[in-house]
Structure 1
Amino acid sequence: MPLYDLPLAELETYRPDVPEPVDFDEFWARTLAEARTAEVDVRLARVDTGLTLVETYDVTFAGFGGHPVRGWLTRPAGQAGPLPAVVEYLGYGGGRGLPHERLAWASAGYVHLVMDTRGQGSAWGAGGDTPDPVGSGPAFPGFLTRGLADPAEHYYRRVFTDGVRAVDAVRTLEGVDPARVAVAGVSQGGGIALAVGGLVPDVAAVMPDVPFLCHIRRAVEITDARPYSEVSAYLAVHRWHVEQAFRTLSYIDGVAFARRAGAPALFSVALMDVTCPPSTVFAAYNHYGQPAGAADKDIVVYPFNGHEGGAAEQLGRQIRWLGARLGRAGEAADGPGRAGAVVPGR
């Protein structure tokens, strides 16, 4: 795929006026208050993976509507803590998979929770285990148009609430330092991490890789790749629902959450990515931490990559970056790093 979006020099300063609903804050405050009326009800069951350097637990906690959300919790064996933690969210269509698949964060000294995404887990990977018990009106196959007629019924209202409750859940665990909980994810997972970063003001760090669900209307208008093409396919049938559809999507747009976030952030973007166009990622990055002031933020640019982004290269960068800010078992953080730098991929 050739370069198709704005030139990098323009992307670096691209800060579009992305409309948001006047009741955005009230909508999410009400949503989270309702969710938190139920106990987070964390349940752990030790899993024998055959691995000796990490401990793994099958996790269930109460998400949106008190619905049970599954996950895997992995931690360094024999480390009493208090340890920093990373909550990881997953890409579109994937599930939590198998308990031995994601070991990097525990190996680096963190408690690691990977959250299953409700209703997903059958498009790639090794499967998911969390149903979505809430239905929706007419929708195009996929998840992005579920509940598109009403923001209160939209699928991602439930998912983002699950993401916040995952942070709540980790903070209740023995051996976790509740002040050092970071959130991370790739694609859809990056979009969820960005939303949680905007909704939970005291998360310690946010790491969205090639994030989905940012500057959504532009994405729908410039790419025909899924998942954004689900919206255009839906609107090709529901021709008179355009403004209502984008109004609903404005309640889940990552740019709005980025404006409200303030934790240190490490983004990544790929300039040949047709799934999450680079201008949509830069829209969120350039708005991140505004108007509160300058944020400790970096973005890693991968000029010749598509939606795979930096993959293992980016994970290595994250481990070093987060270690400098949060420390690991028995370590102190080095303090904040550079603010607002664009780091070229290599």
Structure 2
Amino acid sequence: MNNALHTKLSSIHFLTAPWYRTVMLALTFFAFLPQGGLVHATENCELSVRTNKSDAIYTVGEPVMFIIELSPPSNNRVEPVRVNWRTSVDGQPPFHEGEATLLDGKATVTGQLAQPGFLRCEVSLPAGANDTPLKAVAGAAVSPTEIAPSLPAPDDFDDYWQAQIALLRSKPFDLSMTPLETTASNSHLKIFDIQADAPGDIHVSGYLAYPKDATEGTLPGILVFHGAGVGGASLPWVEKWASLGMIVVNVNAHGIPNGQSKEFYDKLKQGELKDYSRKPWPNRDEVYFRKMFLRNLCALDILAAQPQWDGHTLITYGTSQGGAQSLSVAALDPRVSFAVAGVPAMCDHSGMTAGRATGWPRSVPVDSEGHPDSDALEAMRYYDMMNFAARIQIPVAMTVGFIDKVCPPTSVYAAYNNLGGPKDIFNDLPTGHANSPEATAYMKQKVIDHIQSRQDSPTR
């Protein structure tokens, strides 16, 4: 155990008691059929839950009302009907549970938080003899912009990453760019498979594309990153962005060959890359994401070296693990002008020290009392988007799913609140760990708006 970290952690109060309360505000008498069975919804009914505020944003101590509704009314249903409800902070224990009786198809559950965070309400209606169970979930933000870092960044955070970058760029990397054949659908583009080897055993593998009629110094650039998983770079992704008039690099997360069979990637997924994200690394140098982040910086160098790049507009873009990569590159390289991160992973690895849910990949083990492994936590603090965010001064756009259990909204806001420059966030109320069509449109529009603003600005 690292003694310095142990001393620091020993002074932190771990929240093990509930810091929220939930009160059911509904009548609680039960209705039974003459045969003694509880009445259930028919297959044509829909169970829903929502907050009484359209934006689902509340303040600390303010009652949060969840409205439960079963619709449409059915002649096959005898009122009242009971549903089960459960509330929690970000879907983690402790849970408050109960039953609500629906009168005219509705009931309410009310709770509140004593500190900033996200309150989650899950409701369910058990299946009857001929029905399927119904479930619904909603989330509410409580003073989300006041969610503070669970721990500060390590004192040598900047020194560590500057040393890593210095090693990466200590000598030129070896680069090969292999032109790919185009088809009728992408014949307006030039597309390359790129492979590069850089100091520190860093291998880059991806696709690069741009409009074939582009002239020197005319194209904004975008780096697109992958979410969790094992696979090659995506041709459709580079084709999409290049068709919008950009030079794009999509780098696969692992530096593995592109364009291989499903069997090839499945073998890696079950072999050397199995559980690549979840191991409790004993120190910061052995964390898998170190090479991933450096690989991304090398990919940025490749894009910036292309004569078609305009030299001033460079966007990083990704979702989940890709969102984390987007933020880390934006923090580490001053050439990035704008970052987009959808439901970003790797936020608030130390959340358990404040009684909060941590973001994916949750690679810091905790004991039976909720205390983290100090060595693993110390290592992951160098890979926390909450800490990278504090070093980003450029504009950033993010999305957050209010019912996301993979990258809980509290963890996302812990990073968002630490951003140092202009920022905007899309609160995706009904969405879990995904980008809804609305969130995807938001992210794309933010990219387009940024490019337009750079073209309109005389100083850029």
Q: Please state which band the TM-score falls in when normalised by the shorter chain.
A: 0.7 to 0.9
In structure 2, distance between residues paired with 1:327 and 1:76? 18
Q: Which runs of 5+ in 1 are unaligned?
A: 290-294, 337-346
How far is 1:11 from its partner?
Answer: 1.4
Hey, which bits of structure 1, 4+ residues long, moved more than 6 A?
119-122
Q: Secondary structure in 1 aligned to 2:200?
A: helix
Check conservation: 2:220, 2:451, Cα contact below 8 A.
Answer: yes
Check conservation: 2:207, 2:249, Cα contact below 8 A.
Answer: yes
Q: Secondary structure in 2 aligned to 1:287?
A: coil
Q: Does 1:183 align with 2:290?
A: no
Indicate the residue corresponding to 1:256 in structure 2: 387
In structure 2, distance between residues paired with 1:43 and 1:63? 12
2:310 is aligned with what amino acid?
D
Check conservation: 2:398, 2:425, Cα contact below 8 A.
Answer: yes
Check conservation: 1:88, 1:184, Cα contact below 8 A.
Answer: yes
In structure 2, distance between residues paired with 1:288 and 1:14? 12
Indicate the residue corresponding to 2:154 in structure 1: 21
- Does the C-alpha gap of structure 1 residues 325 and 127 become closer, same or farther in structure 2, counting only changes over 3 Å? farther
Q: Does 1:325 align with 2:456?
A: no
Indicate the residue corresponding to 1:292 in structure 2: none
Check conservation: 2:210, 2:246, Cα contact below 8 A.
Answer: yes
In structure 2, distance between residues paired with 1:142 and 1:262? 33
Check conservation: 1:258, 1:288, Cα contact below 8 A.
Answer: yes
Check conservation: 2:367, 2:373, Cα contact below 8 A.
Answer: no
Q: Secondary structure in 2 aligned to 1:180?
A: strand
Check conservation: 2:347, 2:412, Cα contact below 8 A.
Answer: yes
* Superposition CA RMSD, Å: 3.5
How far is 1:147 from its partner?
Answer: 6.8
- Does the C-alpha gap of structure 1 residues 285 and 57 become closer, same or farther in structure 2, counting only changes over 3 Å? same
> Which residue, 405, 412, 434 being the options, matches 1:274?
405
In structure 2, distance between residues paired with 1:256 and 1:23? 12
Q: Secondary structure in 1 aligned to 2:407?
A: coil
How does the TM-score come out when normalised to structure 1?
0.80
Indicate the residue corresponding to 1:341 in structure 2: none
Check conservation: 1:324, 1:334, Cα contact below 8 A.
Answer: no
More strand by percentage? 2
Indicate the residue corresponding to 1:30 in structure 2: 163
Check conservation: 2:147, 2:417, Cα contact below 8 A.
Answer: yes
Higher relative contact order (CA 8 A, sep 6+): 1
2:316 is aligned with what amino acid?
V
How far is 1:177 from its partner?
Answer: 2.0
Q: Secondary structure in 2 aligned to 1:281?
A: helix
Identity, % of aligned positions: 23
Q: Secondary structure in 2 aligned to 1:263?
A: coil
Q: Secondary structure in 2 aligned to 1:313?
A: helix
Indicate the residue corresponding to 2:431 in structure 1: 305
Indicate the residue corresponding to 2:121 in structure 1: none
Check conservation: 1:276, 1:307, Cα contact below 8 A.
Answer: yes
In structure 1, distance between residues paired with 2:164 and 2:359? 31
Check conservation: 1:93, 1:120, Cα contact below 8 A.
Answer: no
Q: Does 1:118 align with 2:234?
A: no
1:65 is aligned with what amino acid?
G
- Does the C-alpha gap of structure 1 residues 102 and 236 become closer, same or farther in structure 2, counting only changes over 3 Å? farther
Indicate the residue corresponding to 1:157 in structure 2: 290
Q: Deviations over 1:167-210 (max 9, x none)?
A: 11110112112321111111001001111111112311111111
Once the two structures are superposed, the pairs formed by residues 1-346 of structure 1 within 5 Å of their partners are: 4-5=89-90, 6=118, 7-50=140-183, 51-63=186-198, 65-82=200-217, 83-118=219-254, 141-146=274-279, 148-218=281-351, 227-228=361-362, 230-232=363-365, 242-289=373-420, 295-310=421-436, 312-327=437-452, 332-333=455-456
How far is 1:49 from its partner?
Answer: 3.3
In structure 2, distance between residues paired with 1:127 and 1:267? 34
- Does the C-alpha gap of structure 1 residues 241 and 218 become closer, same or farther in structure 2, counting only changes over 3 Å? closer
How far is 1:26 from its partner?
Answer: 0.8
How far is 1:226 from its partner?
Answer: 6.3
Check conservation: 2:386, 2:414, Cα contact below 8 A.
Answer: yes
Greater C-alpha Rg: 2
How far is 1:9 from its partner?
Answer: 3.6
In structure 2, distance between residues paired with 1:85 and 1:243? 40
Q: Secondary structure in 2 aligned to 1:260?
A: coil
Q: Deviations over 1:253-300 (max 9, x none)?
A: 1011100011111111101110000011111111101xxxxx221101
How far is 1:94 from its partner?
Answer: 3.6
In structure 1, distance between residues paired with 2:386 and 2:439? 22
Q: Aligned residue pairs: how many?
A: 316
How far is 1:153 from its partner?
Answer: 1.7
How does the TM-score come out when normalised to structure 2?
0.61
Indicate the residue corresponding to 1:342 in structure 2: none
- Does the C-alpha gap of structure 1 residues 101 and 166 become closer, same or farther in structure 2, counting only changes over 3 Å? closer
- Does the C-alpha gap of structure 1 residues 195 and 23 become closer, same or farther in structure 2, counting only changes over 3 Å? same
Q: Secondary structure in 2 aligned to 1:108?
A: coil
How far is 1:61 from its partner?
Answer: 2.4
In structure 1, distance between residues paired with 2:240 and 2:276? 29
Q: Secondary structure in 1 aligned to 2:208?
A: strand
In structure 1, distance between residues paired with 2:383 and 2:283? 12
How far is 1:56 from its partner?
Answer: 1.2
More helix by percentage? 1
In structure 1, distance between residues paired with 2:351 and 2:312? 36
In structure 2, distance between residues paired with 1:78 and 1:12? 45
In structure 2, distance between residues paired with 1:108 and 1:21? 40
In structure 1, distance between residues paired with 2:438 and 2:264? 26
In structure 2, distance between residues paired with 1:224 and 1:181? 30
